[in-house]
Amino acid sequence: MSLGSSAITLTAPGASEFDAGFGQTAAPTLQVKSNAPFSVSLRSTQALWTASPPPARANKPASDLQWSVSVGGPFTDMTTLSATILTGAVGTAGTLIPLQFRVKYSWLLDTTGSYSLPLQLTITSP
């Protein structure tokens, strides 16, 4: 399994993202190569975003990040529990997964700052 980058920089939100309640970012495409059936899962390793400096929102939940394997969604809230994003019944020479992320924004809750949330991708074979 490979990802074009180990870090994904989200698009900085503006007024239109706050008005919409979210901003969307395409992640680097994930590529899976396997010689057996496989399953790929995704999770956050933290329940809250790391936010700095104050007054950045220290209690922004991981669920404010949503993921999808399709540009138009549907989108699923991120959790600390592994969510299966793709399975393959046979081996593959290169299945591409176009990960998409969007962040929920609130005029009342989200404040200026630098935010990060570590994610974990796992590939397993049954």
Rounded Cα gap, residues 110 and 79, in angstroms:
19
Residue among 71, 67, 53, 51 at smallest CA distance from 119: 67
Give this prediction's pTM. 0.92
Comparing 94 with 117, which gets the higher pLDDT? 117
pLDDT in tens, 36-64: 999 999 999 999 999 999 999 999 999 99
Residue among 50, 43, 61, 4 at smallest CA distance from 27: 4
How wide is the angle at C-alpha 12 spanned by C-alphas 45 and 6, nearest 5°?
Answer: 40
pLDDT of residue 71: 85
The domain segmentation of the chain, as residue ranges, is 17-118
The mean predicted confidence, pLDDT, of the chain is: 92
Mean pLDDT, rounded, for 95-115: 93
Q: Annotate the chain with three-state secondary structure.
A: CEECCCCCCCCCCCHHHHHHCEEEEECCCEEEEECCCEEEEEEECCCECEEECCCCCCCCEHHHEEEECCCCCCCEECCCCCEEEEEECCCEEEEEECCEEEEECCCCCCCCCEEECCEEEEEECC
